[in-house]
Structure 1
């Protein structure tokens, strides 16, 4: 994503159906790959953590759902997803489901993301913002991981959340924003 990153995210997010918004939120808050986000299950929430087993690397993570005995943003999202599951009578084990209770597959995610992006491009063009439309056109779901890596100030924390054993991977592949530095005076 680019300098207008929040605008690009917001434009697509506003056009997204609820399950896409949930998937985007879960991907952003956990920093995980799309396939790992879609495979997260209600049973993965154990003892105040979301247990993640990354498919690509087999790395295991326990992501905190609370801080100082209060739910963090991820904890609040998981609570809402669990409540939705109960209200909808969802029987499948996945956290991310459609309004009718089906788990969201990779192809469903792709179609929903493409639809939201296309709609967001249309809104940008209607507002005569060609540059934003071009940037939205380039935005892909997989850009969420680099967004996470770039927004977390602490490189060690970003690397650990993304499941990298070497900070250089996070720095060279995923960090897309330059380091923030102070001037001489």
Structure 2
């Protein structure tokens, strides 16, 4: 599943959400990448619960729009898929390696890159 911030010239819901987050005034500087709205560090369980709730809501919205295949793929997407997904979306192996903080490109290539080889049809 591709994660897109815009499609066909329109901002997606994820893109709009990110724009709203970026527009928020900074309330606390705690050194954390993700914080609650009042600036407290977001615990792992809180992040997991929010991810699960967002996945359920996204699948329900796709289902109600008649997009059953998309709803099925959204339900199958797991929190642990985010890190390798991010690495696979980056074209440059060096850039993916830097994002993940690996000292060796081979680790990134072997463990995290999930980009299939482009092949020709059999007939």
Residue 90 of structure 2 corresponds to 152
Q: Given the two structures, how large is their TM-score scaled by the length of structure 1?
A: 0.49
Equivalent-residue separation in structure 1 for 2:88 and 2:80 (angstroms): 14
SS in 1 for 2:51: helix
Deviation digits for residues 46-83 of structure 1 (CA, Å, limit 9, x no counterpart): xxxxxxxxxxxxxxxxxxxxxxxxxxxxxxx8xx58x7
Q: Give the CA deviation at 1:123.
A: 0.4
Q: How many residues align?
A: 112
SS in 1 for 2:36: coil
Q: Does 1:178 align with 2:116?
A: yes
Residue 74 of structure 1 corresponds to none
RMSD after superposition: 3.3
Q: Does 1:6 align with 2:6?
A: no
Deviation digits for residues 22-55 of structure 1 (CA, Å, limit 9, x no counterpart): 9xxxxxxxxxxxxxxxxxxxxxxxxxxxxxxxxx
Q: 1:172 to 1:91 in 2, by over 3 A?
A: closer
Q: Mean alpha-carbon deviation: is it higher for 135-144 or for 120-129?
A: 135-144
Equivalent-residue separation in structure 2 for 1:144 and 1:91 (angstroms): 25
Q: Which residue, out of 84, 90, 93, partners 2:25?
A: 84
Q: Does 1:114 align with 2:111?
A: no
Q: Going by fraction, where is strand more abundant, 1 or 2?
A: 1
Which structure has the higher relative contact order (CA within 8 Å, separation 6+)? 1
Q: Does 1:140 align with 2:78?
A: yes
Q: 1:159 to 1:126 in 2, by over 3 A?
A: same
Runs of 5+ consecutive residues of structure 1 not aligned to the other structure: 23-76
Q: Given the two structures, how large is their TM-score scaled by the length of structure 2?
A: 0.69
Q: Give the CA deviation at 1:108.
A: 0.6
